Structure 1
């Protein structure tokens, strides 16, 4: 029997173990550690999981195994985590069929829909996170004790003090061929961002999952906690997951305008249709771009220590202006700024593409750029509002249901439960406010 392509890749990179990995609907990374001696079995049959034990994957204890089938194109050697270790992203199947609750399967379905419409989606992602430590008393504090400035963004000293961590991540990305091009201190104390070049939509979503894993594991090697929680501190800027979206057709960009654009952004009608679709579906989109209770502490922030929240509150668009929901930095792409660090990249990208393609199909017009925020559609105030909007939006719900009907209802029920679990917990704010108030 000829060796599998996965075996060839493993041998070429001196791999001893492979993490066969996928994420559930909440974005939890799940994996089994497979020795290279079993790599051909992994390639041919996949590796089995009890789906109910995985988490949010639409299964009960009685259901048959999830079989994680590896995608050799996603093979990623990660010796900087452990010598001889590699990772491969997988598509969960049940009884031989792609499992419709699997986020990567959902995104691949949307990419097929885009291809059927004649488009090839490309995506860039900005990954923001905090580096923290726990005190002996259990409190979360900034890992760099000297990082205390009111406006720490781009501070050269803050970047330098975290040189070891940041350069380790940068070197890993470059070794993998991702083309890391910048690493910076973001707007909150202890907050950083590390960027890599855009790629096709599936590759970028895979890389976001991989990068979160790498950042987490390499931070732990330095006794730090890396968190992608949207708003770990009430008075600091939250962490976003901004998505830069573009389309090609037959290899050619379709967003640049073919003639002078009277709106001044240089976009084509196709691009304006895409933007209009994103704006029209923005409220339902937020359920997938900002899918946690904590997300709405970020988008609801009025101000922070630094003076700005950098999180949109209404569904507007404009040029090179970071206060809009959709920013148009140039004629090649649009930046969707509603997402945060808790977003599942597969679902976020799939939903954004679904919204944009709907706008193109219906020839929607977003109106003039820089519209008044007083009349623009406000984004959901809480996770509960976002889930209501998702259920009222058949286009965005249909993205989740594309492979298997009922996924959107399942997701909505998960998130409603999450909201009411939070709502049922008694917080220090409540005891401080009400204990002696009456």
Structure 2
């Protein structure tokens, strides 16, 4: 009798835990999970790429119907049994085509950038802050916050609202901890029915896998409790929007030492190393291009405004600047140093593509030994346009179209995405913008229908 393989052992372990079905999951252009369901008896075939699909059937995957099918190649290290549905195990998967990795696969794109970082001697660690709204449908179909309490002008960190949601919230946190994600805090945020759950960072690929999984998990558990989770960045005009801030650190690829921690006193005052400043400079240089990918929807840019929340300032990034533990900068260095926070990212991003482009921008800054200039410690929200101009601080793109213009002109974006995904991203997102422009909104009807 032949010796059992690693796949035989994995199959036996999953079966012992009650798993019946497998999801070799890849993502479309949005970062949404796609897959076939595979009975556990066929795990070995699945792990060898048996499950094929037509890329042309998915949003933004650059194939035509006559192309060879792409196959899912699961990463065994990513396997997670779904806590809310334990008969199903999920695997993050790379797409292959014609016997080799499919270049436009989102996960493959991130892996290429991480390989570039490793060749430079670095491992990139990433944390993502999960902000989202949990809502319910009213009797006449209107969307309502899940909270039944009266609205407060400033509901952030409100204890009664957090505690009355402990049914679905506790189940979600328990599920995350069951998976080993180490949730260290969660709270009610600035919008009614808005929550944030913070969990431990990991290497960039693992964190991207987890965020893809998290969006499905949070919604599935909320639906068990008669609600649903939305990762729309700005579902309500009068409340702050949801972010998914990237917290990035650079480690030595061999020793794991955090290279963002300065050896001595930091003369610029942010308590990070020189290599971190170079990484920040790369991100700063490419912020308009990054916007198209980390804030990828029409709705994203309704979050990125100075004011427009019941509680005053929106707390959203607006300016192309960086600084210390100061949330009026787009790139923030949290207290204690050791990491960099890109606050521009929102929860509708494709985390593989968003992380790939962000990390590539930072690596470019390191290679070029770029200088980000002086950090900003002051309240940037209170600066006048003239003061901002004197400081050389520009605003972020105000619309998806502006961000796409920057993306289209970016050699870095083309290099990271590859020609096919670069063209596919532009084509899909330009179409999304045009569709929005052609839509007649309620605002227009109310303002113009009976104007005269």
* TM-score of the pair, normalised by structure 1: 0.96
Distance 1:11 1:435 in 2: 62
How is 1:6-25 mapped onto 2 (pairs within 5 angstroms)?
6-25=10-29
What's the RMSD between the two structures over aligned residues?
A: 1.4
> What do the CA deviations read for 1:379-422 (whole angstroms, capped 9, x no partner)?
10100100100112211332111xxx232122011101000001
> What do the CA deviations read for 1:229-267 (whole angstroms, capped 9, x no partner)?
000111111010101000011221111122221111222
Using the TM superposition, give the Cα deviation of residue 87 of structure 1 relative to its aligned residue in structure 2, in angstroms: 0.7
Match of 2:371 in 1: 365
Using the TM superposition, give the Cα deviation of residue 36 of structure 1 relative to its aligned residue in structure 2, in angstroms: 0.6
Match of 1:399 in 2: 416
Q: Would you say the 8 A contact 1:278–1:356 is kept in 2? A: yes
- Say if 2:283 is the partner of 1:269: no
Give secondary structure in 1 for the equivalent of 2:35: strand
How is 1:40-59 mapped onto 2 (pairs within 5 angstroms)?
40-59=44-63
> What do the CA deviations read for 1:306-341 (whole angstroms, capped 9, x no partner)?
222111111111111111111101321011000111
Q: Measured at CA, do residues 231 and 97 of structure 1 come closer, stay the same or move farther in structure 2, by a change above 3 Å?
A: same
Q: Would you say the 8 A contact 1:147–1:189 is kept in 2? A: no
How is 1:96-175 mapped onto 2 (pairs within 5 angstroms)?
96-146=99-149, 148-175=151-178
Give secondary structure in 2 for the equivalent of 1:87: strand
* Among 382, 385, 389, the residue aligned to 2:406: 389
Distance 1:362 1:210 in 2: 36
Match of 2:246 in 1: 243
How is 1:315-326 mapped onto 2 (pairs within 5 angstroms)?
315-326=320-331
- Say if 2:385 is the partner of 1:379: no
Distance 1:9 1:74 in 2: 15
Unaligned 5+ runs, structure 1? none
Give secondary structure in 1 for the equivalent of 2:435: helix
- Say if 2:342 is the partner of 1:336: yes
- 225-234 vs 62-71, which deviates more? 62-71
- Say if 2:37 is the partner of 1:30: no
> What do the CA deviations read for 1:70-103 (whole angstroms, capped 9, x no partner)?
000000011x322322111111111122112211
> What do the CA deviations read for 1:113-148 (whole angstroms, capped 9, x no partner)?
111111100001101100111123221111122152
Q: Would you say the 8 A contact 2:18–2:86 is kept in 1? A: no
* TM-score of the pair, normalised by structure 2: 0.93
Match of 1:423 in 2: 437
Distance 2:88 2:268 in 1: 51
Unaligned 5+ runs, structure 2? none
Using the TM superposition, give the Cα deviation of residue 301 of structure 1 relative to its aligned residue in structure 2, in angstroms: 5.1
- Say if 2:300 is the partner of 1:305: no
May I ask how many residue pairs the two structures share in their alignment?
434
Give secondary structure in 2 for the equivalent of 1:122: strand
Q: Would you say the 8 A contact 1:76–1:176 is kept in 2? A: yes
Distance 2:369 2:16 in 1: 49
Match of 1:195 in 2: 198
Q: Would you say the 8 A contact 2:306–2:315 is kept in 1? A: no
Distance 2:156 2:145 in 1: 14
Distance 1:209 1:32 in 2: 16
How is 1:69-80 mapped onto 2 (pairs within 5 angstroms)?
69-78=73-82, 80=83
Q: Would you say the 8 A contact 1:286–1:380 is kept in 2? A: yes
Match of 1:356 in 2: 362
Give secondary structure in 2 for the equivalent of 1:277: helix
Give secondary structure in 2 for the equivalent of 1:303: strand
Q: Would you say the 8 A contact 1:277–1:356 is kept in 2? A: yes
Give secondary structure in 1 for the equivalent of 2:36: strand
Q: Would you say the 8 A contact 1:281–1:396 is kept in 2? A: no
Distance 1:397 1:272 in 2: 24
- Say if 2:308 is the partner of 1:291: no
Distance 1:225 1:175 in 2: 22
Distance 1:392 1:377 in 2: 18
- 27-36 vs 124-133, which deviates more? 27-36
Q: Would you say the 8 A contact 1:4–1:40 is kept in 2? A: no
